[in-house]
Structure 1
Amino acid sequence: MDRILADQKLRLAMNEHSNYLLKIAYLYVKDWPAAEDIVQDVFLKFYQEFERFEERSSLKTYLTRMTINKCKDYLKSWRYRKQIITNSFSNQTKKARNRIIEQDEKLELADSVLQLPLKYREVVVYFYFEELSVLEVAHILSISDNTVKTRLRKARALLKIQLKDHQWEVLLDE
């Protein structure tokens, strides 16, 4: 009986949250196949440990926290470090082509955000792209709201430096 309920919950969770979790995972690891693997692992773990979910928070928050933790584990892994080393050799020709393609303002801004260190990138993504409040971001990341504000301020300063040659309305008002 519990497995039937777990199956239903899993299907519902996958239908409702897959795309969101995939975006979150990609923003952390910057690799679509790895992001897909991470989200798949999150849903597998949720299915296996279905009974442990106490519903103290929403299912979306619970799955988001699991995804963030899996992403951080992945970023610490040997597999990721090995991939970065091999990609640095093969990406030389891709970088030249990407500079031509990424002339669009939105792509440049997104690329700059992805260049931020993880602790700044995650608050920017949640605050600006997901449009969460400072308190919601603090809750998801398990940090204080003042830490979120400080990281946002530092991230904006870093983005200003990266984008100093461009006129960005969002950064000029700061």
Structure 2
Amino acid sequence: MLEHVRTSIEVSSECSKEERLEWLMKAYGDDIARLAFTYMKHKQLSEDIAQEVFIKCYEHLDNFRNESSYKTWLYRITVNLCKDKLKSWSYRNIVLTEFFSKIKSTSQSPELELVGQEDKRLLSEKILALPIRYRELIIFYYYEELSYNQIADLLDLRLQTIKSRLHRARLMLKKSMEGCKINE
């Protein structure tokens, strides 16, 4: 438990490279895999990407300059690896069938839980159907709870570009959800 309480500064200054990597994997491993899944839409591919992220992290950990947080740095590596994979021939020839869901359930009864799961599935499918440039903003803003500035830094885009794309993404998502029955 104490491992997760450490800050990135404490981790970088007092731990060995292996200890830092282990801490990063524990702290951000699930988030990295989930982020990769939002791009790849396939569990196995997202796990492969997450492994590649931490391999790259280990290789370049000594060069980390603390200009951003470890989380932002790992997200940047993840996004770049995912985009490279999406451009590859092998990915373009794979059929994708899975979806993601990180929305926390607040249902109490089994019936409400089942209805909530169906709503999550539908929303997840609609989000994953968005073009990547809009999907990634929805994921970063709503699921990863990053600020506009963090997203702009992560994607190396202007703040106004982030705001306008997120607005368009919301409109696209709203339009795709019209006619869908969501239980509230």
Q: Cα gap change, 1:107/1:141 in structure 2, threshold over 3 Å: closer, same or farther?
A: same
For structure 1, which runs of at least 5 residues remain unmatched after alignment? 95-100
- In 2: Cα distance, 1:167 partner to 1:102 partner: 12
Find the counterpart in structure 1 of residue 130 from structure 2. 116
Find the counterpart in structure 1 of residue 103 from structure 2. none
Find the counterpart in structure 2 of residue 11 from structure 1. 22
Find the counterpart in structure 2 of residue 165 from structure 1. 179
Q: Displacement, 1:161?
A: 2.0
The DSSP-based 3-state class of the residue aligned with 1:83 is coil
Could you state the TM-score of these two structures normalised by the residue count of structure 1? Answer: 0.80
If each structure's helix is expressed as a fraction of its own residues, which one has the higher value? 1
Residues 102 and 108 in structure 1, CA contact (< 8 A), matched pair in contact too: no
- In 2: Cα distance, 1:131 partner to 1:49 partner: 26
Find the counterpart in structure 2 of residue 64 from structure 1. 75
**Runs of 4+ in structure 1 over 2 Å off:** 166-170
Find the counterpart in structure 2 of residue 145 from structure 1. 159
The DSSP-based 3-state class of the residue aligned with 1:132 is coil
Residues 49 and 82 in structure 2, CA contact (< 8 A), matched pair in contact too: yes
Q: Displacement, 1:58?
A: 1.1
CA RMSD across the alignment: 2.5
- In 2: Cα distance, 1:16 partner to 1:81 partner: 31
- Match for 1:10: what amino acid? L
- In 2: Cα distance, 1:159 partner to 1:124 partner: 9
- In 2: Cα distance, 1:153 partner to 1:130 partner: 17
Could you state the TM-score of these two structures normalised by the residue count of structure 2? Answer: 0.76
Q: Displacement, 1:70?
A: 0.4
2:31 aligned with 1:20: yes
The 10-residue stretch of structure 1 (29-38 or 150-159) with the greater mean CA deviation from structure 2: 150-159
Percent identical residues: 36
- Match for 2:149: what amino acid? L
